[in-house]
Structure 1
Amino acid sequence: MAKDNNEKNSKRLEDKTRRAKKIAERSQSVRETYESVENSFKRVFRWFSSSVDRFLFSRKHDKIISLILAGGLYMMLNFSNTGQLALDSTYTIKNHPVTLNADLDVYEVTGFDKTVDVSLTGRTASDVNAAKSQSNTKVILDLSGLQTGEHTVKFTTDNFSSRVNVTTKPDSATIRIRKKETTKFSLSHDYLNLNKMDEKYYPGEPEFESTEVLVRASAKTTESIAYVKALIDVKDATETFTTEAPLYAYNINGEKVDVDLIPKIVKVTVPITSPKKTVAIRVVPRGEIPGDRSIDSITLDHSSIELFGNQAVLDSTNEIRVNIDASQIDKDLKIYENIVLPSGIRQASIAKVNLDIKLGPKVSKVLKNLPVAFENNVGGYKTRLQDPEQAEIDVTIYGTAKRLEEITEENFGRVYFDMAGVQPGDVSLPLLVETDNYFITYKLEFDEINMEVVEN
């Protein structure tokens, strides 16, 4: 048993010895390989170093070397600047108000933008964010010491952080300085929110505490002013009231003109009334009934209408006309028509009217020797008719027998010509008819009149 153990131990020792020898052999091989690689690298490095030395210190290549070094230096500097720009942070403040330093009580300044864009550039976003959040910054147009005339002035900035670069767009303004003058203007007015009043009420002529206003502006600006208006708010007004109205100057195109107004507001009393008037409703056929028929009668469910609105408009309104298209009527019928109110009339007692239309056979009748009249002879001219018989005219009228029976030469109306704009010489003018007989049609014996117009 002891013998067997000794043999096993002997074998183990031999195995360990063999493995140790193999490891030693491999280590030797690795060292030799490393030394070979190292020697090869040293030879290559010595060759490369020697070649570079020969190239760099050769007089033949000194220009090429200088060019390469200069190019490398340029690229390094350019790369450095690009890197710096990439690090900058920029923000633009749109429409920053401009502060004008000028004696505006004496001078008028025109030609500059009321706002400009301001660009902020900083090394970091935090610097720019802090600068754009400042509330007391200013863009200034300083006109101190400048006299009347045209000047180009640069914008300056104030109260911006020193950690950012500040520029404006535009960077300057070409301005004109003019001396102000004082001129008197009469006041006119406009009513605001008329559509927000009860339509039964209407504002009358306002009574101003002062009917004149002083305008301070240059002579050129003053010449552009067409009127000065007080804007009076009448929203929900139902009774006379007193208020203060702001004043504004306007040019002929209705655009506001920037001037000094003294005063800027005016005290005004506005009378609120409810003017009304009752007038007749008159139906007016347009065109002709087709065929051999004519309108014999039209019956309305309302013969009159109550109107509310401007007193002057009411005074000039004596009837409300309802137009119907006669060419579309070929039989008895019942229709309704909406009532169209004239401008200045805000409300009416009815909005539509029902019509019962009756037709009858059409007949004709001749009205003899109606005088031919004229109007608008503002030049006071004399007229000589080329045909003296044109001083009178026959008119053939068409309608139902009932309608024609009521019409005579005395109540038909008038035939006339309009001399507005006529100059001395031979002229031909169309004849016009004015009549209140709307249910008939008519034909004139001749349609125009020929005459010589002479100075009186």
Structure 2
Amino acid sequence: MDKLFNSHWFVKIISFFIALMLFTMVNLDNINNQPGLLPTLSSSTHTVGEVPLTVYYDEENYSLIDQTETVQVTLTGSQTSIQMFQMMRPSYEVFVDVTAQEEGTHTLQVEHRGFRNDVTVAIVPEYARVVLQEKQTYSLPVTVELVNEEEVEEGYSVGTPIVTPVNVTVKAARDAVAEVATAKAYVNISEADGPVEDTVPVKLYDRNGNELSLETEPSIVEVKVPITSPNKTVPIKITREGELPDDLSLESLVVEPREVTIFGSAEVIDEIDVLEGIILELSELEDGEPVELEIPLPEGIEQVEPETILVTPTISEKVDREFEDISLEIVGESAGTTVSLASGEPSTITVLARGALSRLEELTREDIQVFIDVSQEGEGEHEVDVQVNGPRDFAFVASQNTITVNIRLEESDD
């Protein structure tokens, strides 16, 4: 026996018969009893139901409105061929090609590919129905819908959303495009305490508010929602520092803007009526040359808009104008005292006003106050400085620098 297994011919013969037996068992249902070297194989059929039908069409210009969805495929061939098809599961396809067809209803014979060459293919139905409709392009604006707006932090204001791009386009079948009424983008601003920026999808709706399964170009948009803290608009006050050259006078200042908006907590901004601390250095000014001034942030203020103001000065040479007989006032007189001018002292003063000509022409006697302040003086005779008040941007010089006064105590009735 060992010699037989060691024989190459014996092994080859045994292998052949084993292979023949396996082939017969796997591939044959019936063995013909006719004498012959190999048995004859019988014919067989195999049916595949609900095979998806592929439609090839001009997708750029047409929409597929309706079609025969599936077909039944029956294969006829030898049992070996059928079984090989079942075991191998080849990639096959049933289809119709309407790429050359225009809008309308078309009936075409169903084609196939990918099946074995040794099987016959029968398709039911043999002809398929395809409906094409020409595509149309429609452009419409995107409306932003704010979600949970009521949950924004208390005191904060929600501005008008900014969407980019403003419009989107939809390209679809004519009937589908006709249903489009609005394009919306939804942004959630729950608990927001500052600007919200988001990238969100665009959804299309019909006139009844039903969402449509159509795509837009672009399919997403960028949305910015301005959300600002409590704010208040207040005037500004400019503080002048330094001096112009002696021979020059500041005629006017044009300030843009004259009001700014401050942002912060309600408690802080309620306490601010004027925004101060803006410094204008007079020594750096040139006639007609705008100067940009930064606006400082007061304590507790988060933001100010704008952050700077523009100041344009008008500067001219100084001229003099004399105002005679301005009444001298006595201020600061204490109760229980009497103040009188010393003998020979005038009750009126001549004042020299120096400034820009255009401003001097507008200046009147009523704009000028000449006075002496005796609030720091006691009983007796005193020499008190003469002071002049008037509109800023003018220099005033009194014709007399001091006035002598007598202060005496009033006698008590006791």
**TM bucket normalised to smaller:** 0.3 to 0.5
Structure with the higher strand share, 1 or 2: 2
TM-score after normalising by structure 2: 0.36
TM-score after normalising by structure 1: 0.33
